[in-house]
Amino acid sequence: MKVEQISIFLENRPGTLRDVTKVLGNAAVNIRSLSLADTTDFGILRIIVDNVDATKKILHDKGIAAGINIVVAVEVPDRPGGLDKILERLCQEEIGVEYMYAFVEKSKGNAVMIFRFDSTDRAIDVLTAAGFTVLTGEEVYSL
| Percent above pLDDT 90 for the chain | 70
* Separation between Cα atoms, residue 45 and residue 61, nearest integer Å: 18
Backbone angles phi, psi at 70, to 5 degrees: -95, 125
In tens, the pLDDT along 33-84 reads 999 988 778 899 999 999 999 999 999 999 999 999 999 999 998 889 999 9
